[in-house]
Amino acid sequence: MKNLSGTMVKLFYLLLISCLMRNVFGKNVFDQLTKKGDTIIKEARTDNMTRECSCDEENFCGTEIKEEVFDCFETCWFSVKSITDHPEQLKQCLKDKAYIIDQIISCLHEKAESCVPGMDGPQIHYIDINKIIKSADAQIHLQADKFTKTLPNSARDLLEAAITVGTCVKECFQEKNQGGFCFDHKGCQPKIETKEMRNALKKCSKELEWQKEAAEMCDCAYKAGVGRVQQYCDMIHAMNRHKPS
């Protein structure tokens, strides 16, 4: 979809970490970020026009962008050595949860109505993807800074490691696309209407079983040598046991 770059990967890691604590601290980084989505998109919209992508083009570019992001992820993974002696094992934990990104993309594709069936889509305002990445990145850092202040010292370096990896991936992705993004080469873009995208993000977020995903991710991280997460794993499992059926 629209901006699945290092920003999306960074958001992915923030989501995994934040959902470990969201029921404890009442925070949800994803919700905070979606509230800023309208402003980010409006600021990135230009007076130039482009064709609305066909759904095939959108899927093609989404796949290409995702592959570039995960190539960058492999390159940037060195950053997590600060939190575990088994970085490869922890990396596999995150890779095993990569399907979350696919679920979000598929859900957005279905609910946001951002493409048309054929190659003769209408003209829409061109959106500066680099500007979206820059603005979203700034918001992620802002929310992460606020979120970090609510965390005990034992958990802060986990979030900092996620930010470091995400920043590296973002820079790597942008370097790969210095000559233009996939959508630029196709001569089209997905149609991004702020209201529809915001509603789609909320619906897609609700469809994910965050507590279940958090519990599995937490257990995996603990087994990968991140011992300080054990107390959070215990809390999440306790909340899952008492969750209304």
**Which of 44, 43, 62, 45 has the alpha carbon at shortest distance from 53?**
62
In degrees, rounded to 5, the angle at the alpha carbon of residue 35 between the alpha carbons of residues 103 and 64 is 35
Using a 10 angstrom Cβ sphere, with 0-12 exposed, 13-18 middle and 19 or more buried, the burial of residue 218 is buried
Residue 68 CB partners (closer than 8 Å, separation 6+): 173, 176, 177
Under 8 Å between Cβ of 226 and 84: yes
pTM: 0.76
- In the predicted structure, residue 125 carries a pLDDT above the cut 90: yes
Q: How many domains does one find in the chain?
A: 1
pLDDT band of 7, cuts 50, 70, 90: very low
Q: Give the separation between CA 76 and CA 70, rounded to whole angstroms.
A: 10
With respect to residue 236, please indicate whether it lies within any of the assigned structural domains.
no
pLDDT given at position 154: 66
> What is the average pLDDT value for the chain, to the nearest integer?
79
For 168, the domain range is 6-208
Does a structural domain hold residue 226? no
Q: Is residue 131 part of a domain?
A: yes
Is 177 contained in some domain?
Answer: yes
93 has a pLDDT exceeding 60: yes
